[in-house]
Amino acid sequence: AQSVTQPDIHITVSEGASLELRCNYSYGATPYLFWYVQSPGQGLQLLLKYFSGDTLVQGIKGFEAEFKRSQSSFNLRKPSVHWSDAAEYFCAVGANFGNEKLTFGTGTRLTIIP
């Protein structure tokens, strides 16, 4: 069965600083990988996804993520954060065939300070 670990429960960064949110997964084959963002009281919005091909994927709002098979990681990055990026971020993994479900990490809450 697949699993996802987001080791950072809460991260605080200054506006304009760079950001990296960590995600490690466990799955026996090449997974489907996702990052979602959730603003307070809202549903989840898809930031980006990786299925195959180029291991560096670009998403919305200036985010990118890199799939590293050797490290079983899919870390989310942004070169310069904005106050509006304050939210909860979820990494998720899905099987690459036949499986109907995604497994989510427990989330990382991002706080932006002026």
Partner 1 sequence: SQTIHQWPATLVQPVGSPLSLECTVEGTSNPNLYWYRQAAGRGLQLLFYSVGIGQISSEVPQNLSASRPQDRQFILSSKKLLLSDSGFYLCAWRQSPDQETQYFGPGTRLLVL
The SS3 call for residue 72 is coil
Alpha-carbon torsion (1, 45, 37, 16), positive or negative: positive
Pick the closest to residue 78 from 36, 24, 17 (CA basis).
Answer: 17
DSSP 37-64: EE-TTS-EEEEEEE-SS-SEEE-GGG-E
- Catalog residues that contact partner 1 under the rule CB under 8 A: 32, 34, 36, 41-46, 49, 51, 90, 94, 96, 100-102, 104-107
How far apart are CB 9 and partner 1 at their closest, in Å?
A: 9
The CA-CA-CA angle for residues 2, 105, 32, to 5°, reads 50
How far apart are CB 106 and partner 1 at their closest, in Å?
A: 4
How far apart are CB 18 and partner 1 at their closest, in Å?
A: 25
How far apart are CB 88 and partner 1 at their closest, in Å?
A: 9
Residue 37 vs 81, nearer CB to partner 1:
37
Residue 80 vs 96, nearer CB to partner 1:
96
Residue 78 vs 107, nearer CB to partner 1:
107
